[in-house]
Amino acid sequence: MRLILLGPPGAGKGTQAVRLVERLGIPQLSTGDMLRAAVAAGTPVGLQAKAVMESGGLVSDAIVIGIVADRIEEPDAKKGFILDGFPRTVAQAEALDRMLADKGLELDAVLELVVDQDALVGRIIKRADDAKAAGQPVRKDDDPEVFKTRLAAYNRDTAVVAPYYEKTGKLKTIDGMQPIDAVTEAMKRAIGA
Ligand code: AMP
């Protein structure tokens, strides 16, 4: 199965992706995770992406599309994948369509987590506090001011991606304000899993 998880930062895409991975046995492909790994490793992509990520902006389409094109060629992605954090622009969505069409593949569903944006800053502060309490590193871009820039980038560039998929009939909207388990159940129902 090939899925996309959509929704603003802090909507719960990462949390839900982990649960769907368990259920479906296909990998989570998080462009945010891949970019953070590239930054940590100091690769050329990481060097280009670092400042943009720290400021809460979007990394260029060309870089992100290149990363995803390589990643979906890996053996573990052959039986399917859950894209988390990609596509974030219509240009990325169009590039993904072309990548899949070239391979004769199709998306199965696009799951959009719909949340109240006013609640998100509070969630992100909690995510940072939880990480701190667990002795884990706190993401630099989970700083409340940077988070606002990320939300603005979402509203400017990414909010239009859901309507793009609505036209294909693949979009399924999920109430992301429910408790975590209820969101997981709603997602599983939406894809018949
Ligand atoms: P995330 O972990 O999905 O919140 O992503 C963290 C950061 O990585 C974002 O704020 C962007 O700077 C960058 N990023 C991740 N995915 C993308 C993407 N598909 N397009 C552009 N930038 C991205």
Residue-wise pLDDT for 9-28, tens only, equals: 999 999 999 999 999 999 99
Buried b (16+ CB within 10 A) or exposed e, 172-181: bbbebeeeee
Residue for token pair 């573990």: 76
Residue-wise pLDDT tens digits, 63-90: 999 999 999 999 999 999 999 999 999 9
The Cα–Cα gap between 105 and 107 comes to: 7
174: β partners? 113
C-beta 157 within 6 A of ligand 1: no
C-beta 65 within 6 A of ligand 1: no
Dihedral (C-alpha) 106, 167, 34, 28: value to the nearest 10 degrees?
-60
pLDDT at 123: 86
The Cα–Cα gap between 106 and 161 comes to: 17
Q: Average pLDDT over the chain, rounded to whole?
A: 96
The Cα–Cα gap between 60 and 133 comes to: 34
Nearest atom in ligand 1 to the alpha carbon of residue 31 is 16
Nearest atom in ligand 1 to the alpha carbon of residue 84 is 3
What are the tokens at 125? 């502060």
pLDDT at 2: 98
Contacts of 18 (CB under 8 A, 6+ apart): 28
Q: Answer for the pair 176, 189: CB distance below 8 angstroms, yes or no.
A: no
Sorting pLDDT into bands at 50, 70 and 90, what band is 137? confident
* Pairing relationship of beta strands 2-6 and 109-114 according to DSSP bridges: parallel
Nearest atom in ligand 1 to the alpha carbon of residue 60 is 21
According to DSSP H, which parts of the chain are helical?
13-24, 31-41, 44-55, 61-71, 90-102, 117-133, 144-153, 161-166, 180-191
Gap from CA of 76 to ligand 1 centroid (Å): 22
Res. 139: pLDDT tops 90? no
pLDDT over 70 percentage in the chain: 100
Ligand 1 pocket test: pick from 58, 94, 164 the residue with the most ligand atoms within 8 Å of its Cβ.
Answer: 58
Contacts of 113 (CB under 8 A, 6+ apart): 5, 6, 7, 11, 12, 13, 16, 174, 176, 183
